[in-house]
């Protein structure tokens, strides 16, 4: 069974010369990681104070540092349902907030800070991060970006790759629902999500390879390590990736959401889809993985237009509004929504489709006030209230 609380061991894992073992997990158990910005209330910029926070949590395993001192990550335990996951994460957020309030630090969880300069970010003191900077230089220095990562428990490597191939169809849907990074370095990028474009500069990032089975994945990983392309699984920054030491499929495409409410709604969408696919595995035989041009085109459309993207449905060039496709899938998986008791989460999915994402809300504030500080204030307010300002 996978444990999100043992990240260090996994991410420093080196591949066995003879075999790569997938450690089975209980099917479709859940875990999540949320990356959170640390903000100075005097100027609403990022502040490098993670060490001050970690001193307060020396014996608490659910809060950990990240590559820069101006943000951190919170991890859930293994959960059976999104209801359980929500309570787990909410408890940790409340504990974290009580400490940051005392320290005079504000929190936000959107995919990018609107005006912070990445060149001002202070590197967290860890050998892995120093190595990443040394290897990738400026590309890694730009990683002042924040995501929501979701783990689904899998029984085998072959099963994991089947679910991987299924969820490749939903990369645009998950990114659109989570879009929250329209501003970067003080500029309106004109994009709904600029965060994915930062990761895609790396050779082992972005869209995963198509049509992979477990044997092909193992061969690829061994080849990558042999030629020096990666040192550990942490060096695979794909939008989806198997995590053999946890026994999970890790979904990494989502921007950090402005609120936990939106995060749990998206996790519920993912979880209900996974339960549907468990009973309808032959679907991928009728709808094989789209060609790379189609995957890339749909991902780009969401990066640019978010929930307003026009989705390309097939290789003939037919299209429909992406939000319509999301809602059609909501209808298709309704029996699983009822079975899992996820009705409230899917009301939030429908609200995102109707009322807009964090990116849209941020842009509305900027259009009204012409102030990126006001945008940051919105993000902080939504995080604290756990409620989008629709």
Which range marks the domain in which residue 367 is found? 4-385
Helices and strands (DSSP H and E) totals, the chain: 17, 13
For residues 5-34, one letter each, b for 16 or more C-beta atoms within 10 angstroms of the residue's C-beta and e for the rest, the string is eebeebeebebeeeebebebbeebbbbbbb
Within a domain: 373: yes
Contact of 152 with 163, CB cutoff 8 Å: yes
Specify the residue for token string 């390590």: 225
Furthest C-alpha separation in the chain: 60
Token pair listed for 183: 């501003």
pLDDT in tens, 176-213: 999 999 999 999 999 999 999 998 888 888 998 887 89
Residue in this structure with the two tokens 């080196």, named with its chain if needed: 14
User: Distance between CA atoms of 375 and 369, rounded to whole angstroms?
Assistant: 9
* Residue 332's CATH number: 3.30.590.20
Q: What pTM did the predictor assign?
A: 0.93
pLDDT value of position 173: 98
Structure tokens at 151: 């783990």
Total of domains in the chain: 1
pLDDT of residue 126: 77
What are the Cα distances from residue 377, in Å, to 8, 102, 151, 258, 259? Answer: 34, 19, 30, 12, 13
pLDDT per residue, tens digit, the chain (390 aa), is 334 443 333 334 444 544 678 999 999 999 999 999 999 999 999 999 999 999 999 878 899 999 899 999 999 999 999 999 999 999 999 999 999 999 999 999 999 999 999 889 888 887 877 777 777 787 877 888 999 999 999 999 999 999 999 999 999 999 999 999 999 999 999 999 999 999 888 888 899 888 789 999 999 988 998 998 888 777 888 999 999 989 999 999 999 999 999 999 999 999 999 999 999 998 988 887 789 999 999 999 999 999 999 999 999 999 999 999 999 999 999 999 999 999 999 999 999 999 999 999 999 999 999 999 999 999 999 999 999 998
Q: Are 168 and 210 in contact (CB under 8 A)?
A: yes
Q: Using alpha carbons, select from 273, 237, 54, 37 the residue that is nearest to residue 152.
A: 273
Which pLDDT value is given to residue 19?
Answer: 63
The answer to the question of residue 390 being in a domain is: no
Closest CA to 267 of 123, 87, 82: 82
Provide the token pair at 120: 């001002």
Query: Hunting for tokens 């349902």 — which residue is that?
Result: 81
Count Cβ neighbours within 10 Å for each residue of 161-197 and write b for 16 or more, e otherwise: bbbbbbbbbbbbbbbbbbbbbbbbbeebbebbbbbbb
Would residue 316 count as lying in a domain? yes
Nearest alpha carbon to residue 127 among 14, 8, 233: 8
| Residue 4: predicted pLDDT | 43
């Amino acid at each position: 069974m996978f444990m999100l609380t043992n990240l260090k061991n996994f991410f420093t894992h080196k591949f066995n010369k003879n075999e790569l073992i997938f450690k089975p997990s209980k099917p479709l158990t859940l875990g999540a990681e949320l990356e959170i910005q640390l903000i100075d209330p005097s100027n609403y910029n990022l502040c490098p104070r993670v060490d001050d926070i970690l001193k307060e949590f020396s014996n608490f395993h659910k809060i950990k540092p990240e590559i820069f001192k101006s943000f951190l990550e919170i991890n859930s335990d293994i959960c059976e349902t999104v209801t359980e996951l929500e309570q787990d994460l909410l408890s940790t957020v409340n504990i974290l907030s009580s400490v940051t309030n005392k320290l005079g630090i504000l929190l936000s969880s959107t995919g990018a800070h609107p005006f912070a300069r990445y060149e001002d970010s202070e590197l967290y003191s860890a050998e892995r991060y120093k190595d990443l900077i040394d290897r990738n230089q400026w590309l890694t220095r730009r990683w002042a970006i924040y995501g929501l990562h979701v783990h689904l428990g899998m029984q085998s490597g072959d099963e994991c790759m089947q679910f991987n191939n299924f969820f490749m169809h939903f990369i645009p849907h998950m990114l659109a629902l989570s879009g929250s990074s329209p501003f970067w370095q003080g500029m309106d990028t004109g994009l709904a999500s600029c965060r994915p474009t930062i990761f895609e500069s790396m050779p082992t990032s972005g869209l995963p390879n198509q049509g992979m089975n477990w044997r092909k994945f193992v061969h690829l990983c061994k080849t990558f390590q042999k030629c020096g392309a990666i040192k550990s699984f942490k060096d695979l920054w794909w939008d989806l990736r198997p995590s053999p030491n946890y026994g999970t499929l890790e979904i990494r495409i989502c921007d950090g959401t402005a609120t936990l409410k939106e995060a749990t709604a998206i996790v519920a969408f993912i979880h209900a889809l996974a339960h549907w696919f468990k009973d309808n595995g032959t679907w991928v035989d009728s709808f094989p993985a789209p060609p790379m041009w189609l995957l890339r085109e749909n991902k780009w459309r969401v990066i640019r237009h978010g929930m307003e993207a026009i989705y390309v449905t097939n290789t003939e060039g037919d299209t429909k509004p992406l939000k319509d496709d999301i809602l059609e899938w909501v209808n298709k998986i309704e029996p699983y929504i009822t079975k899992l008791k996820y009705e409230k989460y899917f009301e939030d999915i429908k609200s995102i489709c109707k009322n807009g994402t964090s990116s849209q809300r941020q842009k509305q504030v900027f259009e009204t006030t012409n102030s990126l500080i006001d945008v940051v204030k919105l993000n902080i307010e939504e995080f604290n209230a756990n409620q989008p300002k629709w």
